[in-house]
Chains A and B, each alone.
Chain A
Amino acid sequence: MTERVAPLSLSILTVAAWALSLAIFAARPELFVVALPLLVTLAALGRRPSMPDYALTHTISADRVYEGDRVMVTVAVTARSPIPLMELVEPLSPVSSLVPARHRSVLGLRAGETAQWSHEVRCTARGRFDLGPCFVRTWDGLGLRAWEQSHNQSYPVRVYPRLLPLRTLPRPLRTQTSIGDHVSREFGEGIEPGDIREFAPGDRIKQVNWRASLRLGRLYVTQHHRERNADIVLMLDTLAEVGRAPATSLDLTVRAVASLAAAYLARKDRVGLINYGGLIHWVRPGSGRVQYERLADALLGAAVIFTYVAKDLALVPPRVLPPHALVIAVTSLLDRRFARAIIDLAGRGFDLVTLVVSPVDVTRAALPASPRTDLACRLWALERRGQIDDLRRRGLLVLEWHPSQPLELALAAAGRRRPRVVATG
């Protein structure tokens, strides 16, 4: 705890000195008397001060939230000695903003009294930040002396990317062996009818197709397609970004990846992640709630790390990028190295869908509106259309998402262009 003399002492000393100077120059004894109350008050500084004694506890309402969510911070102070005035300040993180209240409070406490102060923080951008370092300043009764202390206990808060609602998802060409929501080519237990065949010993009566049996004069059974899960690998482009935080092209890309991951995991698929940028790192495909947390944690730290080196996807182990997986590359196509990487993947026979997040709208929103900006953005959009057409000519399925529109609208195009294909199971 640091003890200081408060600025009020200096003010009183200045005024007292001025009063005494005037008293001497004006030769008026009243001015000496005017200075006396000021000098008597200042003499209180000569007393040995008693340090303020208090206990401070800090609680936060949640340590894992989504972008735009609010966290309630509650600070409780219990005074063990009387505290005439106490000021509490909590610095804000760059990725958080205050909801109406203030991040500063002033309290007065009697000995043994407990006071609570709460304020709400809105988490504006994804990432990890700390809540809790709290600076406390207390004053004595006359405001002549102050004590300062910082309570550095911090509470980490993780802000996950906001999830966008998705009902339609690109369907994988190939399925895996576990039970899931995708229709497999293999016959077995399922609800999707596939074919009919002659009755064989062991078939159950409920499988008999009575209409076909009556028409053909022999017993026939209906075969159903199995419902299986799929491996989905989400490939995130972190080579470059444009725009203003918290709505950069990378933020939108991360939101799209998180939404796709949550939607596929809800359908019992195994989802993995490859973060393709200055540093390449990955999360092995898995399923369930824990896998979502793994993916979301990996997405929290997604940032652009500049490099001239083009990363080779051949370095990614097959367990991370299984041969039968559906790869969804989410990119803003700002860096040509990513385009080369996805062309390479398609050439290696991967089932690939490319979701292109348009950086033009993001850039337009970040720049002041002017005819020049408008013209530049339109020219850029034309150039990008050529780039996307080039990828389509190479046989890639490219979906374009304009952030002003729902993500589901962009993904619905995949459903139309990819008729339900039941391939090898």
Chain B
Amino acid sequence: MMRGMAVVLACVLFVLPLLSTPVPFVGAIGLCGVVLALVGMAIRWRWAVTAAACAFLLEYALALSVSAASVDFVGAAAFGVSLLLLLHTGDFARRVGPTTVERAVRLAHLRRWLTVGVGTLAATAFILAMTDLIGAALPLAAAPLAAALGALGALLALAAMVRRAAGDGSWP
């Protein structure tokens, strides 16, 4: 069931950018993502699923660049949540493996992911509102630099957090 859900999410992530930009080479990259996701689900290899998520992101970025459409934050947030759910479902399928899991456990996880999705969407909306306020105070020329520095800072802070939480640095 979880693997089926992951495959459905991979298909959604593949189709979403193509709806706005039906360009063959963008589709080819998305197709690579679908193949990687299928391989990841079949052999329960998390790096294949992670690579598939990266391929879908590249497809989305190319679609945005080619189309030069107006900014769509809602679609982007939905894409981000879909990516997150793809990673979650792929990881759950890997953790459970071939063992049968009770329906109640699967449903509990689905509820939890739904909550996470709604929560992250709400947090995203809040952060966007905050950036609107900060953006108004910043000079226009400094905005790209602030965005890049902010992204780098957030990434480094999270990497440090993961590193600290990992303790001895070993991965199961």
Contact = CB atoms under 8 A, between A and B. Distances in A.
A14 B61 CA distance: 16
A380 interface: no
A45 B161 CA distance: 7
- Interface residue tally of chain A, by bracket? 35 or more
B10 interface: no
Interface in A1-51: 3-20, 22-24, 26-43, 45-46
A99 B54 CA distance: 42
Given A4-B170, A14-B54, A38-B80, A30 B71 contact: yes
A107 B96 CA distance: 9
B98 A36 contact: no
B99 A34 contact: no
A4 B171 contact: yes
Contact of A142 (B73, B105, B112): B112
A384 interface: no
Interface string B130-172: 0000000000000010011001101100110110011100111
A24 B61 CA distance: 11
Given A17-B155, A30-B73, A45-B162, A4 B172 contact: yes
Interface residues of B, number: 65
A41 B76 contact: no
A64 B96 CA distance: 33
B167 A36 contact: no
Given A4-B170, A8-B88, A142-B112, A34 B151 contact: no
Interface of B: 46-47, 49-50, 53-54, 57-58, 60-61, 64-65, 71-73, 75-77, 79-81, 83-84, 87-88, 91-92, 95-99, 101-102, 104-105, 108-109, 112, 116-117, 119-121, 123-124, 127-128, 144, 147-148, 151-152, 154-155, 158-159, 161-162, 165-167, 170-172
- The 9 A-B residue pairs whose C-beta atoms are closest, nearest first, are A108-B105, A30-B76, A37-B120, A33-B76, A34-B80, A37-B80, A20-B151, A5-B166, A8-B91
24 contacts: A4-B172, A11-B53, A15-B54, A16-B158, A20-B151, A23-B61, A26-B65, A29-B73, A29-B147, A33-B128, A34-B60, A34-B76, A34-B83, A35-B80, A37-B77, A37-B123, A40-B127, A41-B116, A85-B105, A87-B95, A106-B99, A108-B105, A108-B109, A139-B95
Interface of A: 3-20, 22-24, 26-43, 45-46, 84-85, 87, 102, 104-108, 137, 139, 141-143, 145-146, 148
